[in-house]
Amino acid sequence: MAPSAKTALLLVDIQNDFLPPDGSLAVAEGRDILPHVYRLLAEGKWDLVVASQVDHPHGHVSFASTHGAEPFTSIPVPKLHSPGETVLQMLWPDHCVQGTHGCEFEAGLKKKLGEDVVVIQKGTNVAVDAYSAFADNQYAFFTPLIKSLHSAGIHTVVVVGLATDYCVKFTAIDSCKFGFRTLVVKEAVRGVDSKATQQVFGELQEWGCELVSIDDVL
């Protein structure tokens, strides 16, 4: 990395509900990222640390329970601002409900986050899901993340967290689209479907993301 390039560490959705043993949408190997994430926080020289947090209201459109349907199936749901049009929504178990333990950052991470961490909440609109930390899945509403990165003069974004095949993927791709040099730390991401990881890494590279090892960014 060029020494002058201002760099942000972006921690994607490291929340109790995405972690075993109790998370309602636990990523099976999710805890494996934690030592790497702690090390990045302890040893990294970051110009900005950002933590994204899924913060869903009760009855969120992405919850299977909202529709009386089975989790891990897909259904068409109304597209915002487009009467009569629909988008396909993957349905999940209820997760990261505002104000619940499952919504909180993992306890060890919480202790290690400095007071200057920028927390970006997403998925707060009941009618649309939000995998990317930059915007919802329909790009109808943007979070303050792009403004935070630009205000801090960030050039490079280092992405870690959960889950490789959903929120990490869409966040890293958006980061590339917005023109940031985007590095995804292989040891510090895990997927809902671990078999999909290599395919997702390939997709990320096609978009211009760099897959790196932790020692490349420390």
Where in the sequence numbering do the catalytic residues fall?
13, 122, 167
One of 46, 63, 134, 166 touching ligand VGL (CB under 6 A): 166
| Residue nearer to ligand VGL on the CB measure, 33 or 162 | 162
One of 49, 60, 61, 92 touching ligand VGL (CB under 6 A): 92
**133 near 143, Cβ under 8 Å?**
yes
One of 163, 188, 189, 214 touching ligand VGL (CB under 6 A): 163
Count of residues making up the chain: 218
Q: Where are the alpha helices (DSSP H) in the chain?
A: 34-43, 64-67, 107-112, 145-151, 169-177, 197-206, 214-217
Stretch that binds ligand VGL, among 43-51, 100-108, 160-168, 198-206 (CB under 6 A): 160-168
**30 near 18, Cβ under 8 Å?**
yes
Stretch that binds ligand VGL, among 2-10, 132-140, 161-169, 205-213 (CB under 6 A): 161-169
**Backbone dihedral region for residue 131 (phi beyond 0: left; psi -120 to 50: alpha; all else: beta):** alpha
Residues near ligand VGL (CB under 6 A) are 13, 18, 25, 54, 92, 162-163, 166-167
